[in-house]
A and B are shown apart, each in its own frame.
Chain A
Amino acid sequence: MKIKSLDPRVTRSNIDEDTQEGILNPLDHFETYEVFEQRKRGIHHVHVGSVHAPSAEMAVVFAKEQYTRRGQCVNLWVVKTSDVFVTEYEDSDIFETTVNKKYREPDAYKVIDRINAFKERNAKQNA
């Protein structure tokens, strides 16, 4: 039996209903590349997603259509996902800040009082 479909392209392809051809194994894919787009010259590239591709050149060609069609883009980077060195989630406690380090934050500086005083003076003058 051949596959019959409402889509004429499928019907005229004469595909056997029990075909095994073209069925991929779950891991039978190209590797992935991470895509970074730059929306204006001089600003940072921003991660926008990933694509499957057999080479960096193909990854750029695919990334252009996947990620830049609806917005401004002036430059693209692609990087093999496997080349990105990542931290482990179980180590995410390295990013925590302890409570008694408040003095390291900008609002702990003495100058904040003078800035606030300046703002207050200005507000009064403009009132």
Chain B
Amino acid sequence: MEFTEKHVMGLKDLLYKMADDLLILGHRNSEWTGLGPILEEDIAFSSMAQDKMGQSLALYEILHELGESDPDTVAFTRNDHQFHCSQLVELPIGEYDFSLVRHFFYDHADAIRFDMLADTVVEPLQMVAKKFRGEIKYHTMHANTWLKQLAQGSEEARLRMQSAINETFPFALGMFEPSEYEAELIEAGIFQGEEALKNQWLETVVPLLESYGYTVPDASTVTPIFGGRKGVHTEYLQPLLDEMTEVFRIDPAAEW
């Protein structure tokens, strides 16, 4: 089917929110490098943060082919209101309980989204989705193992994880903020839409968390924290961007 202007707009919007989520969460998670709880975990978490940067680059490259600016310009020269990331990924790393719960919620959504996109009609996106399958599978395996381990740990560990789950849940639901182009994306076979993604995500994360012994808030009674997809962000995003782009801004034309 021939893409109309609205289909292209919808596709770009989809790519921007995916890439921005990956870039911002990749940066956030890299803040643990050197400070992680044990050496082995420090290396694993840092390595996954790098994976996220690589995945975001692949998506920015597709955007570049669609006529957007080059990846460096897109990543390093926009202000917070031009970012399409969910508010979930921009929150500070906090303590390790929160960072792990965010990692669990985000990476399961990411895995399902990429899984859906393995069938998209957009060929370069289909290839990217297939390429990162193994990487993302490890990310969810890592998250599941930690959440299970800490549920079986001390009472303090279980309680801290449970309260992180409760506090993070409305932000996690905010990942599925619908765009203006849901109908167009579904109709053209580009993406199955945020609602379908959210439902699959709930069917995945709720039984997992319950099997580890946690309770999960009832999604139908929680108000999702939307805004990120439309450029409305928390006070934490701009300082992150200032820090991330500090070196780039010294000499934007520098050859690396």
Contact = CB atoms under 8 A, between A and B. Distances in A.
Interface of B is mostly: helix
B255 interface: no
Contacts of A60: 145
A65 B149 contact: no
A4 interface: no
Interface string A36-63: 0000000000000001111101101110
Given A8-B243, A30-B38, A54 B138 contact: no
Nearest to B46: A65
Given A8-B243, A54-B149, A55-B149, A61 B44 contact: yes
Contact of A52 (B40, B44, B145): B40
A64 interface: yes
B159 interface: no
Contacts of A61: 44, 141-142, 145-146
A62 B41 contact: yes
A22 B149 CA distance: 20
Size bracket, chain B contacts: 10 to 19
A62 B42 CA distance: 10
A51 B145 CA distance: 16
B44 A57 contact: no
B39 A52 contact: yes
Contacts of B41: 62
B47 A58 contact: no
Interface string A1-42: 000000111100000000000000000001000000000000
B149 A62 contact: no
A125 to B, nearest CB: 53
A28 B234 CA distance: 39
B40 A9 contact: no
B149 A9 contact: no
Given A55-B149, A57-B148, A65 B40 contact: yes
A70 B149 CA distance: 27
Interface of A: 7-10, 30, 51-55, 57-58, 60-62, 64-66, 69
Interface of B: 31, 34-35, 38-41, 43-44, 47, 138, 141-142, 145-146, 148-149, 153, 243
Given A9-B35, A54-B153, A65-B40, 11 more contacts: A10-B35, A52-B38, A55-B149, A57-B145, A57-B148, A60-B145, A61-B145, A61-B146, A62-B40, A62-B41, A65-B43
22 contacts: A7-B34, A9-B31, A9-B35, A52-B40, A53-B40, A54-B149, A54-B153, A57-B145, A57-B148, A57-B149, A60-B145, A61-B141, A61-B145, A61-B146, A62-B40, A62-B43, A62-B44, A64-B138, A65-B43, A65-B44, A65-B47, A66-B40
